[in-house]
Amino acid sequence: MILFEGVSKVYADSQTALSQVDFHLKQKEMAFLTGHSGSGKSTLLKLVSLMERPTTGRIILNGNDISHLKGNDIPYLRRHIGMIFQDHRLLMNRTVLENVGLPLLIEGYNRHEIKKRSLAALDKVGLTGKGNSFPINLSGGEQQRVGIARAIINKPPLLLADEPTGNLDPKLSVEILNLFESLNQSGMSVLIATHDLGLIAKMRYRTLTLREGEMIDDGLLGGRNEY
């Protein structure tokens, strides 16, 4: 699903965000990406989601070389990626149903299909009956679920999450990770960036560790490496 070969990212101010990173994520695999603040986690996700381009190296996404992709191919490939953010990035003056259906509205789907698929996505994340609510009236955990529903409405093969539990308490964090687990079991590849080592140590999934832009570990926490 994702393949990095010698990928480096150097910004205009000569700051090196990633240095010679090699890793892969298999089809239908779920893994965590961890490291201290500034280690390069967000940059790596931005490279996968085509928000940034690598300075050197090659990135393959679902069989497509996206290393230096430009033009009309970018929006098409982004439809194959669901992106989830720590701050939800919801439109507070729109209902939950409108927020979830936004990707389909942009793609030109008719209103009937948008509503049908939005309701199905809300049901998938446990928010049945919340469609007419506004995000401001929801809890932090519910808002994050709205963001997840919006990310999966296109049924993307790949789901990326950047610190999705950063603003949640431990109980809600576990619930959100269990939701990611169920999405993975339904066939989605999932890559979650987080600094919460205690939380992910409880789950038996591969953990990729970045330090100052370098990939220093590629296995399970506590040495429980299944690869």
Report pTM.
Answer: 0.90
Dihedral sign, CA of 160, 163, 164, 170? positive
Burial of residue 196, with CB atoms counted within 10 A of its CB: 0-12 exposed, 13-18 middle, 19 or more buried: middle
pLDDT score, position 171: 85
Alpha carbon distance 165, 192 (integer Å): 10
Q: Tens digit of pLDDT per residue, the chain (227 long)?
A: 999 999 999 998 889 999 999 999 999 999 999 998 889 999 999 999 999 999 999 999 999 999 988 777 888 888 899 999 878 789 999 999 999 999 999 889 999 999 999 999 999 999 999 999 999 999 989 999 999 999 999 999 999 999 988 878 888 888 889 999 999 999 999 999 998 888 788 778 999 999 999 999 877 444 433 33
Other beta carbons within 10 Å of 125: 23
Which has the closest alpha carbon to 94: 133, 60, 64, 51? 133
Alpha carbon distance 111, 117 (integer Å): 10
pLDDT score, position 223: 40
